[in-house]
């Protein structure tokens, strides 16, 4: 194999691996009519861990993606610093003690957005590219990936 072909092959493989390993931005969204304009990671963490049901005085109900969804796993690792297994154990403990129940689950970004539009006090997360003008972005979640 010539040096030029070898260099091309290596460059192609590196670009492929980087693209396969990249993640789209995750954004936290609410109804476009929500009085909220921004939130912190800590506030979102508390809300999605059922430690509160209000943000800045506004009552909110989280909407989650289905268990096992890669976006869900990335969201929780980034926001709560918990792995999927830790989240499962967390909710099992809360359910068993009667201290909480997990948020309702949606199967797609479209479902999350529809739930927020239908019930304006819902809050959810989707990939940034899925956002439309029926919702408002409160926060772009910084990615925290562990391999």
What is the pLDDT at residue 68? 87
Q: What is the pLDDT averaged over residues 77-103?
A: 94
Q: Which of 87, 86, 88, 71 is nearest to 126 (CA)?
A: 71
Q: What is the pLDDT averaged over residues 46-56?
A: 95
DSSP state of 60: -
Q: What CATH number is associated with residue 84? A: 3.40.190.10
Query: 122 or 1: whose pLDDT is higher?
Result: 122
Is 50 part of any domain? yes
The pairing of strands 105-106 and 64-65 is: parallel
Cβ neighbours of 65 (radius 10 Å): 24
What is the pLDDT at residue 23? 58
Is 1 part of any domain? no
Virtual CA dihedral for 134, 69, 93, 83, nearest 10 degrees? -110
Euclidean distance between CA atoms 38 and 137, whole angstroms: 8
Is 48 part of any domain? yes
Q: Please tell me the least confidently modeled range out of 1-5, 16-20, 64-68.
A: 16-20
Domain encompassing residue 37? 24-141
Confidence band for 108, pLDDT divided at 50, 70 and 90: very high
Number of folded domains in the chain?
1
Euclidean distance between CA atoms 48 and 19, whole angstroms: 29
What is the pLDDT at residue 146? 45
Q: Please tell me the least confidently modeled range out of 3-7, 106-110, 119-123, 142-146.
A: 3-7
Is 82 part of any domain? yes
Angle at 57 between CA 54 and CA 63, to 5 degrees: 30
């Amino acid at each position: 194999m010539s040096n030029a072909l070898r260099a091309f092959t290596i460059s192609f493989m590196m670009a492929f691996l980087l693209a396969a390993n990249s993640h789209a931005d995750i954004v936290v969204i609410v109804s476009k009519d929500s009085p909220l304009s921004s939130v912190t990671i800590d506030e979102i963490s508390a809300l999605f861990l059922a430690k509160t049901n209000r943000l800045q005085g506004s009552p909110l109900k989280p909407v989650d993606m289905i268990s096992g969804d890669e976006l869900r796993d990335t969201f929780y690792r980034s926001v709560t610093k918990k792995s999927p297994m830790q989240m499962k154990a967390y909710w099992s403990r809360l359910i068993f003690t009667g201290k909480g129940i997990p948020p309702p689950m949606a199967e797609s970004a479209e479902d999350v957005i529809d739930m927020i539009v239908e019930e304006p006090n819902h809050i959810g997360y989707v990939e940034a590219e899925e956002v439309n003008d029926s919702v408002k972005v409160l926060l772009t979640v910084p990615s925290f990936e562990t391999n």
